[in-house]
Amino acid sequence: MSTDKKVALVTGGNKGIGLETVRQLAKKGYTGLLGARDAAKGESAAAALKKEGLDVRAVKIDVANAADYEALVALIEKDFGRLDVLVNNAAVMLENDGGAREASTIPVDTVRKTFDTNVFGTIELTQALLPLIRKSPAGRIVNLSSILGSQTLHATKGSPIYEAKQLAYDMSKTALNSFTIHLAHELAKTPIKVNSAHPGWVKTEMGGKNAPLGIEEGAETSVWLATLPADGPTGGYFHKQEALPW
């Protein structure tokens, strides 16, 4: 079945910035596919949004588990015929669990597990969904990065993140930014736009209670990039419509 209504998938959509991104896109008239690795949590989050009168559906997707991809692709193909927006929001910051953050002491396994979700899983899922995104008249791919992925700012004394070093997470977001650049270049002659988003420091489980931004504000950059017009940017790295240095 196909539909004229635009369809947006948000991974890690059952809480935090992901949930708010689903909400804001659904309010703009999209069918929101709320991706969650825990099916029960996804259904609960989707039910709450449906009570707000929004067109939202929970779908199971663990970005780090390739076994989930085939079923998800088949579901979207059968029920919608295409995918208009992919927001790669799901991510982990394992340094939050109290382990070493420094380059000289962090266990390589921490880096590997971080990359499994934040980089490798995100790339593989995007590749799996790309044929459906190509069927959209105006596909949009948004990779949830972070200012912590900026090599320029990490290397610049006095920058806002110069002293904020957590190797696995930072490296993963730098690598994700590289994926954005390369995929955008590959798709430059198509209607598809690919961009990286820095949501800001947001009050979430990952961001903590001291973060200055609320959830609604944290979703703004993702929603803007997901709804870009035909003359909008591609291959960029943005926070609130302002470009960040790579």
**How far from the centroid of its chain's Cα atoms is residue 143's Cα?**
4
Active site residue 237: no
Count Cβ neighbours within 10 Å for each residue of 156-168 and write b for 16 or more, e otherwise: eeeeebeeeebbb
DSSP structure string for 60-125: E--TT-THHHHHHHHHHHHHTS--SEEEE-----GGGGT---STTTS-HHHHHHHHIIIIIIHHHH
DSSP for 138-162, written as a single string: T-EEEEE--GGG-HHHHTSTTSTTT
The DSSP secondary-structure symbol of 212 reads S
Task: Tell me, yes or no, if 69 is annotated catalytic.
Answer: no
* Phi (first) and psi of residue 30, to 5 degrees: -80, 150
Round to whole Å and give the CA distance between 60 and 205: 21
Q: How far apart are CA 241 and CA 20, in angstroms?
A: 18
List phi, psi (to 5°) of 35: -85, 135
DSSP one-letter code for 244: -
Query: Using an 8 Å Cβ cutoff, are 153 and 245 in contact?
Result: yes
30, 69, 169, 237: which one is catalytic?
169
Catalytic residue among 69, 173, 193, 237: 173
Angstrom distance (rounded) from CA 134 to CA 150: 29
Which are the catalytic amino acids?
169, 173
